[in-house]
Amino acid sequence: MKTGERIVFLDYLRVIACFMVLLAHCCEPFYFSENGGCLLRSASDAIYLAVFVSACVACVPLFVMASSYLLFPVRKPSGEFLKRRFSRIFIPFAVWSCIYCAFAGGGWKELLFNFPMCGAHMWFIPMLMGLYLAMPVISPWAERLSAREMRGWLALWLFTTSFPFIRKLAVYVIGSAGGGTEPFLWGESLWNDFGGFHYVSGFIGYVLLGFYFRKFVPELSWKKTLSIALPLWTAGWIFICAVFLGRIPLENGYPVEGPLSLALDLELGWRTCTTGVAMTAAGAFLMIRKLNSQGAFYRAIIKPLAKASFGTYLAHMLVLVPVLAWIRPHFPTPVTMVLSAVVTFVLTSLISMVLGRIPFIGRFIAP
C-alpha cells in the first residue's frame, strides 16, 4: 500500500475528493441566482443538481477520514503534533484568505473573526484545525475501545446526523422556537447552544470512522467490498437526492425563485454531517481503499495531483469562476457542470504544482 512514506489509496482519495469539491462548486450557479438568492430554472437543472451534487458532498468527510487514517491516534507529544499540523495548514490558509480578500476588494475585517466569505470554501481549514486540537485529547480513549464499543459510539454519532431532519419534523409538531428559529433539541435553548448530543456529533465522527476502518476492518476482496460499500453508497445517494428534490417548492412550477434562505433549505440533505452524506462517505472510502495500483498512471498522474491537492483546493475558486463563465453559454447544463470541473481541476492543479516549486515560499502557498 505504500510507496516510500505515502499510502497509495489515500493519494487516489485526495484526487477524487478534490475533483468532487470542484464539481459540486461548478453546480452552485444552477441554483444560486446572480443577486444572491435562489433560482432553479428548470426541472432538468434540478435533476442534474440532485445527481451530481449528491454524489459529491462526501468530499469533505473523505478528506477528514484521510487525515484520521494518517494521523489518528496521535503518537507524538501534543505540542509537536499541533505545531507540525498548524504550520502546514494555517499559513497557507492565512495567505489565501488575504488573496481572496484582495480579489474581492473587501472582507478584510472578517479575517479578525472568521474565514472570509469571499472565499467561502476556506471554512474547511478552521474546522480541520479544530479537529487537530481534539485529536490528542481523544486518542487515549479511542485506543482503548474494542470494535464493539466503537460501533456503539459510531451508531450514536450516526443518530446525530439525523438531527437536521428531526428539527424540520419538530417544526410541524411543536412549531418554531423563540425568535422564529428551528426547535431546540435535547438540552439546547436560547441560552445554551450545547445540547446533550453536542459532544458526540459533528466531524469528530468521521475521525473515528476513519480510525475504525483502519483498525477493525481488514482488507477485503473487491467482491466483498462492493457487496457492502456499493449498496451503502447507493442508498445514501438516493436519500440525498430525494431530500433535495422533495424540498423544491413547486406550487408555481419552474422557474423556482426565492431568497437565499430557500437555497440554503434546499441544501439540507447536502450538509456534511447528515445521514445520507455519512453513508456515501463510508461507502466511497471503502471502495477507494481498494485502489492500490502503483503503476505508471499512479506515478505520472495520481501522485503529482495528490501532492498538489491542498493547493488546488485553496486556489480553485479563482480559476473556477472565469472558466464557468466561459463554458456555460456554449454547453447544456450537465456538460457545463462536468466540463467546467475538469478544466478547473487541470488548470488549478498545474498552478498549484508551479506555485509549490517556488523556492522558500512555495510550501507556504501550495504545500
Centre a 10 Å sphere on the Cβ of residue 246 and count the other Cβ atoms it contains. Answer: 11
How far is the C-alpha of 276 from the C-alpha of 155, rounded, in Å?
14
* pTM: predicted TM-score of the whole model, two decimal places: 0.93
The pLDDT value given to residue 2: 44
Bridge partner residues of 182 (DSSP): none
Q: How many angstroms separate the Cα of 296 from the Cα of each of 212, 291, 299, 302, 354?
A: 31, 14, 5, 9, 22
**From start to end of 220-344, where are the E strands?**
256-258
Q: Alpha carbon of 328 to those of 46, 154, 268, 366: distances in Å?
A: 16, 42, 26, 29
What the block records as the C-alpha cell of 37 is: 438568492
pLDDT of residue 3: 43
Task: Give pLDDT tens digits along the chain (367 positions).
Answer: 444 578 999 999 999 999 999 999 999 999 998 888 999 999 999 999 999 999 999 999 999 999 999 999 998 999 999 999 998 899 999 999 999 999 988 889 889 899 989 899 999 999 999 999 999 999 999 999 999 999 999 999 999 999 999 998 888 888 766 666 778 899 988 889 899 999 999 999 999 999 999 999 998 899 999 999 999 999 999 999 999 999 999 988 999 999 999 999 999 999 999 999 999 999 999 999 999 989 999 999 999 999 999 999 999 999 999 999 999 999 999 999 999 999 999 999 999 999 989 888 888 888 7
Could you count the other beta carbons within 10 Å of the beta carbon of residue 315? 24
Are 233 and 277 contacting, i.e. CB atoms less than 8 angstroms apart?
A: no
| Cα 92 to Cα 184: distance, rounded to the nearest angstrom | 37
- Cα 296 from Cα 304, distance rounded (Å): 12
* pLDDT in the model for residue 290: 95
Do residues 92 and 366 make contact, with C-beta atoms less than 8 angstroms apart? yes
Looking at residue 171, its pLDDT comes to 82
Q: How far apart are CA 66 and CA 57, in angstroms?
A: 15
Cα–Cα nearest to 140, from 204, 80, 78, 74: 74
Sequence-ordered list of residues with C-beta below 8 angstroms from that of 253, at least 6 positions apart, any chain: none
pLDDT, position 6? 81
- How far is Cα 19 from Cα 198, in angstroms, rounded to an integer? 31
pLDDT digits (tens, 9 = 90+) for 312-349: 999 999 999 999 999 999 999 999 999 999 999 999 99
The DSSP secondary-structure symbol of 290 reads T
Written as nine digits, the cell of 85 is 499540523
Question: What's the pLDDT score for residue 205?
Answer: 97
**All three cell numbers of 165:** 431532519
Of 95, 98, 120, 104, which Cα lies nearest the Cα of 311? 95
* Cβ-contact 16, 288 below 8 angstroms: yes
Among residues 126, 127, 143, the alpha carbon closest in space to that of 75 is found at 143
Residue 7: CB atoms within 10 Å: 17
**Integer Cα distance of 325 and 70 in angstroms:** 38
CA dist., res. 122 & res. 103, Å (int): 15
Q: Where are the domains of the chain?
A: 2-161+201-365
Given this model, what pLDDT does residue 1 score? Answer: 45
The three grid cell numbers given for residue 16, joined into one nine-digit string: 477524487
Count of CB atoms situated within 10 Å of the CB of 275: 22
Angle at 339 between CA 336 and CA 345, to 5 degrees: 130
Residue 367, preceding peptide bond in cis (omega within 30° of 0): no
